[in-house]
Amino acid sequence: MSEPRAPKKLPYFLIAAACLLTGLFAGWTPIAARIDNYYYDWLLMLNKPEQPAQDALVLEIDDQTLVAYKGNRQLRRTLTRTLDAVAQAGPKAVAIDLILADEDDAETDRALAAAMGKVPKLVLSADIMRNAERWEEPIPPFAAQSKAIGHVHADLDQYDGVSRQVQLEKVADRKRRWAMALEAYRLALGGEQIVESQRDLHIGGKSLPFPQRGDRGRPMLIRYRWKPLPRLSVKTLLENPARGAELKDKVVFIGMTAQGHDRWVTPYSTSLGMPGVEIHANIYETLAARDFLFQASNISIVLACILLAIAPAVVFAFLGGWHAYAVAAIQILWAHSLPHAVFSSGIVFPILAPAACAWLSVVGCGSYQYFAVRKQLRHSEAGRSRYQQAIHFVSHEMKSPLTAIQGSSELISRYNLTDEKRKQIALMINSESKRLAKMIQTFLDVERLEEGQMELKREPFAADDTVIVCAERARPLADRKKIALEVGQLAPAEVLGDRELMEYAVYNLLSNAVKYSPSGTQVNVDMRYDAGQLRIAVSDQGIGMDEKEIKLIGKRFYRTRRAEQSGEAGTGIGLSIVGQIVQHHGGKMEVASAPGKGSCFTIVLPAKG
């Protein structure tokens, strides 16, 4: 009986590789991007920055300001008065989130420019005009009064429109601008120039590790404050100049918060969204608090995915039972908690690709193990029952020659027998032990063939020679039964395989034909070749078989009742070996037979003519 074979390990790794590719592919689809976004937002909720704002303040032009100061028409006058008040308060820097790109009446603009001149560190804003790659920027009199002009372009997520990051630099019309909040940060630090390299930015002694990313500028994830930033309404300031003290040493962001003006959805926002000016203040706070988050690099994501896909393969290849499932469950948990774990170190890791790789690989390798183990179990059960059957058969079949040998040897030793009788008994012992030896040999051949231990040679041989050799070997059997053995037409053909095994097969068919035919009949063998196919047919005029019996004869130990009644001592093994030999040669067996009319066994093989 065969030892249960250890399941192969390679398939696990192949499955893992396929899962890895699928997982990676899934991880880079738009749906995955959305899922990763939601997960990121959730992580932000779990890791809310609790500390209050450092020094940003939103000076808001809110609804009540617009109502009190005649709305948008008088906006520049309101702004002039506001800047006068702000200048007196002594802020660190002031950023105005209003695009002042066109001229109003000359006197209004002159007054506003003069008010701007009183603010020492002023940032004005520019934006890229929609549908035109051009900057919409402050008119020259205003620009002249400012220390910097920063961009206020919102970099909304392409899939869900949420504002999660800002491009610290933005180029349009071949002119590059830094983000308004970055300019405010620079001025608040003292106004030194920004020193840039491919990999980062330097302002004074501070470095901002944001590398250039092609046309995405230098993206920086915005770390929105959880507690609302301090706000002051322009109306409150103008009506109550003492409140100006709140602006001292603050970085003041002036902009619209009134209804009907642009608002963007943020990871924390309610349905109302957040006014742009407040987003800029949050960008400033992210820079000032150095509360940076970085997207994990593609290489690290791919490496994590490789690890997560391969690990289940290792687990299922080397562990079995509940151990494997328990470790696999831990791996899935690990894949899910990976983004959480690295988030606290400021790294944003996607969820979908690693989780998909882990899940697919665990399910793939787990199912493979489940089915492989079941198959193995079935295989070893089949092996065991086959073995029992064989033992049963051997002990049963060997009994009769053994009894005969035993009985005869006793006869010789106990009684005085005539020489002739003695010779007769000796011949009988000889033939019975030969039968026994043949039975054992056949039995071993079957076992070895089934276990794949019997090597199948692959060499070309002439099939017609094989048939002639077999016919000559079977001729004495036929002569003894007075059966005419006719070798018919033999088309020359070459078969690739094992000549000895093929001889075994053909001889078996011939000896069966002789065995199961009465005296005076004829056995024919011929060989035809047609279009790459060789047909070796052995036909007889013997006892034959019915349909049901034909279906069963290939099974080991099966003998038809007709064959048993014919008095021939068969083993029921020969045809099962023939079947296997033919199969090993890439061919098949065809049987045509009718009870009492004879049988025709045909071996069909691939061959060269």
What residues line the site for ligand ADP (CB under 6 A)? 508, 512-513, 516, 540, 542-545, 553, 558-560, 563, 570-576, 599
CB 267 within 8 A of CB 40: yes
Q: CB count, 10 Å around CB of 396?
A: 10
What angle (nearest 5°) sits at the alpha carbon of residue 42, between those of residues 40 and 44? 70
Nearer to ligand ADP, 361 or 560 (CB): 560
Minimum distance between the CB of residue 308 and ligand ADP, rounded to whole angstroms?
54
DSSP 8-state secondary structure symbol assigned to residue 179: B
Closest to ligand ADP by CB, 37 or 524:
524
Which residue do the tokens 């770390």 mark?
A: 223
- 559 versus 585: smaller Cβ distance to ligand ADP: 559
CB of 490 to ligand ADP, least distance (A): 20
Closest approach, Cβ 589 to ligand ADP, in A, equals: 11
Tell the smallest beta-carbon distance from residue 545 to ligand ADP (Å). Answer: 5
DSSP secondary structure code for residue 227 in this structure: S
Q: How many CB atoms lie within 10 A of CB 255?
A: 25
- Of 159 and 558, nearer to ligand ADP (C-beta) is 558
Give φ, ψ of 108 to 5 degrees.
-60, -45
CA distance 253 to 162: 21
Nearer to ligand ADP, 478 or 553 (CB): 553
Closest distance between ligand ADP and the C-beta of residue 2, in Å?
22
Crossing angle of helices 180-189 and 276-289, in 10° steps, is 50
- Alpha carbon distance 372, 7 (integer Å): 7
Q: What is residue 251's three-state secondary structure?
A: strand
When the beta carbons of 221 and 483 are compared against ligand ADP, the nearer one is 483
Tell me whether residue 390 is exposed, middle or buried, using C-beta atoms within 10 angstroms of its C-beta: 0 to 12, 13 to 18, 19 or more.
Answer: middle
Q: How far is the CB of 483 from ligand ADP (least distance, A)?
A: 12
User: For residues 521 and 483, is the Cβ–Cβ distance under 8 A?
Assistant: yes
Residue by residue, what is the 3-state secondary structure of 525-547? Answer: EEEEEECCEEEEEEECCCCCCCH
Specify the residue, 179 or 577, whose C-beta has the smaller distance to ligand ADP: 577
What is the smallest separation between the CB atom of 439 and ligand ADP, expressed in angstroms? 9
Considering the complex, what minimum distance in angstroms separates the CB of residue 603 from ligand ADP?
A: 13
Instruction: Quickly count: other Cβ atoms within 10 Å of residue 402's Cβ.
Output: 14
In the bound state, the residue with its beta carbon closest to ligand ADP is 570
- Nearer to ligand ADP (CB atom), residue 488 or residue 606: 488
